[in-house]
A and B are shown apart, each in its own frame.
Chain A
Amino acid sequence: GESVGLHLPTLSVQEGDNSIINCAYSNSASDYFIWYKQESGKGPQFIIDIRSNMDKRQGQRVTVLLNKTVKHLSLQIAATQPGDSAVYFCAENKSSSYKLIFGSGTRLLVRP
Chain B
Amino acid sequence: DTGVSQNPRHKITKRGQNVTFRCDPISEHNRLYWYRQTLGQGPEFLTYFQNEAQLEKSRLLSDRFSAERPKGSFSTLEIQRTEQGDSAMYLCASWRSGGLGNEQFFGPGTRLTVL
- Residues of A in contact with B (beta carbons under 8 Å apart): 4, 32, 34, 36, 41-46, 49, 51, 89, 91, 93, 97-105
Contacts and interface: CB of A to CB of B under 8 A. Distances in A.
B42 A105 contact: yes
Contacts of A36: 106
A98 B42 contact: no
B98 interface: no
Contacts of A49: 101-103
Interface of B: 2, 4, 31, 33, 35, 40-45, 48, 55-56, 58, 91, 93, 95, 101-109
Contact of B102 (A4, A44, A98, A104): A98
Given A98-B56, A99-B33, A104-B40, A43 B106 contact: yes
Contacts of A104: 40-42
B24 to A, nearest CB: 13
A34 B41 contact: no
A9 B61 CA distance: 28
Contact of A44 (B31, B43, B45): B43
B45 A51 contact: no
A27 B85 CA distance: 28
